[in-house]
């Protein structure tokens, strides 16, 4: 069975916790930020944020890089596509 990217994203959206949408929207609106800023901006508890970010990272929607002692989170190209299709649908 073959599905389109849009169909795949619909399935992903239904399986992710509600906090994932807030994280994606925060990264879309404010750009790359460290986990502390992201936690405050997305209004997601830090312990939950780590779990959500790892799910989004595993799906290829978010990239996590190390800058000094901070972990910086940013949207990937696939993450931007996910947001674009989510906003269009």
Q: pLDDT tens digit string along 59-84?
A: 999 999 998 888 999 999 999 988 88
Partners of 65 in beta bridges: 72
Number of domains in the chain: 1
Give domain status of residue 40, yes or no.
yes
pLDDT tens per residue, range 21-56: 999 999 999 999 999 999 999 999 999 999 999 999
Domain, as residue range, for 15: 5-84
- Please give the Cα distance from 88 to 19 (Å, whole number): 20
Q: State the pTM of this model.
A: 0.86
Examine residue 89 and state whether it is found in any structural domain, yes or no: no
* DSSP state string for 59-83: TTSEEEEEETTEEEEEE-HHHHHHH
Q: Are strands 70-75 and 62-67 parallel, antiparallel or unpaired?
A: antiparallel
Residue 52 belongs to domain with CATH number: 1.10.10.10
């Amino acid at each position: 069975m073959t599905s389109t990217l849009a169909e795949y994203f619909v399935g992903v959206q239904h399986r992710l916790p509600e906090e994932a949408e807030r994280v994606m929207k925060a990264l879309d609106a404010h750009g790359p930020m460290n986990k502390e800023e992201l936690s405050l901006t997305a209004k997601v508890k830090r312990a939950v944020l780590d779990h959500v970010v790892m799910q989004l990272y595993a799906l290829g929607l978010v990239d996590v890089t190390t800058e000094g002692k901070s972990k910086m989170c940013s949207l990937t190209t696939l993450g931007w596509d996910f947001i674009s299709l989510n906003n269009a649908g």
